[in-house]
Structure 1
């Protein structure tokens, strides 16, 4: 007896939902057969009324994956559709608008067809800053321009600053040639004549690299680095690693 009562309750709970879905299906078929703007507006009005009656309106927006994008920027794009029928939310249109943000690498929006949409964003990873003397252009690991940042922007202070024509396009090749964990010691990278690199380290030493075999040259630097004390390193201005069998040290001039 109790089982029958439970079954009746379930039928009462799900019957309105089934009725709504069947009704919407009939209307959609009708519109496909006899489409015009007036009918389309009437159809939307009917859906809105039923959605409001049975609480199928957008009220919850969950956004995941944000690190550098302002959440309010996304919410402002959703705001016009808040409390609208969940069945009429233009998910593709919203995704297209959000994708116009340079930080967005990919986006996926899902609806529970009740009251919630879930927005999952994969942001581009910033890899470096291209400096022109006037602008500081933040770019990603897929060489996409993200934004122009201020000189004193602390969020990205650990990133390498690149200078020189075509240095953005050559940046990934340079970074890939670094030995493990070496990137964290580099402050600036200068592309010389679009052929080779000079690196300014965070200890202020300038490394002059060869056109080829960059990784080997940097491994040689690491070998000699461990033989110097901190006091000796402070006195070094540059280390020339361009010749395979030879390393040239240049010391800072002592001002008397």
Structure 2
């Protein structure tokens, strides 16, 4: 009996040493697996390196224990980002793939011209987007994105829009590039725009300058 107990104790002892050795090896491997490569794509040759350096400055450390929220918070500060995907590639690489926001309009904010992105954020104007519609008024970004969604659903080209006027009542006027102004209803934006377009596309109303669709199911023309 004493011999059996002694053998069991020896077996447990060697198992303890073996497990401890394995754990030490794994810990050493973890220490070696520092992040060595970070790749950022999607924002263009000028902006990718800037975001890359900002993320490197976070000193993320070991790939197994990185705080993903640190990366997310840094990416979210960039107004050009629409969507992004962060991938870990073991043992030591992080790939960040970004979908760049689409610029939808221009706006004057505090005396400076900005570009309004489909992500709802303002970016500095590089003056290469001067054909985008200009928004006048104290903009509610959610109202604008909703209007853009409505426009995409109807028979009107967004490129045909010259200016957008937003009023404190949360109502819109649309000025087309042919200088026709469409006055939309506050509560029935989609229906009023759809009705206005029906008149606009009719050959009987070629010389109109203004289409007032603010009253439900009614159109007032001004030529």
Smaller-chain TM-score bracket? 0.5 to 0.7
Q: TM-score, normalised by structure 2?
A: 0.65
Contact 1:132/1:163 (8 A) holds in 2: no
Query: What pairs up with 1:1-256 in 2 under 5 angstroms?
Result: 22-26=23-27, 47=31, 58=36, 60-66=37-43, 70-77=47-54, 87=63, 90=66, 92=68, 93-105=70-82, 107-132=84-109, 134-143=111-120, 145-149=121-125, 153-155=127-129, 157-158=131-132, 160-178=133-151, 179-182=153-156, 184=158, 185-228=160-203, 233=206, 236-243=208-215, 244-250=217-223
Pair 26,128 (structure 1): closer, same or farther in 2 beyond 3 Å:
same
| Structure 1 residue 155, shift from structure 2 partner | 3.8
| Structure 1 residue 26, shift from structure 2 partner | 4.4
Instruction: Find the residue that maps to 1:218 and give its secondary structure.
Output: helix
- Taking only aligned residues, the RMSD between alpha carbons, in angstroms, comes to 4.0
CA distance in 1, matches of 2:110, 2:79: 23
Structure 2: gaps (5+ residues): 1-20
Pair 203,167 (structure 1): closer, same or farther in 2 beyond 3 Å:
farther
CA distance in 2, matches of 1:69, 1:21: 46
CA distance in 2, matches of 1:157, 1:205: 17
Structure 1: gaps (5+ residues): 1-19, 29-43, 251-256
| Structure 1 residue 138, shift from structure 2 partner | 2.8
| Structure 1 residue 156, shift from structure 2 partner | 6.7
The structure where helix makes up a greater share of residues is 1
Contact 1:164/1:190 (8 A) holds in 2: yes
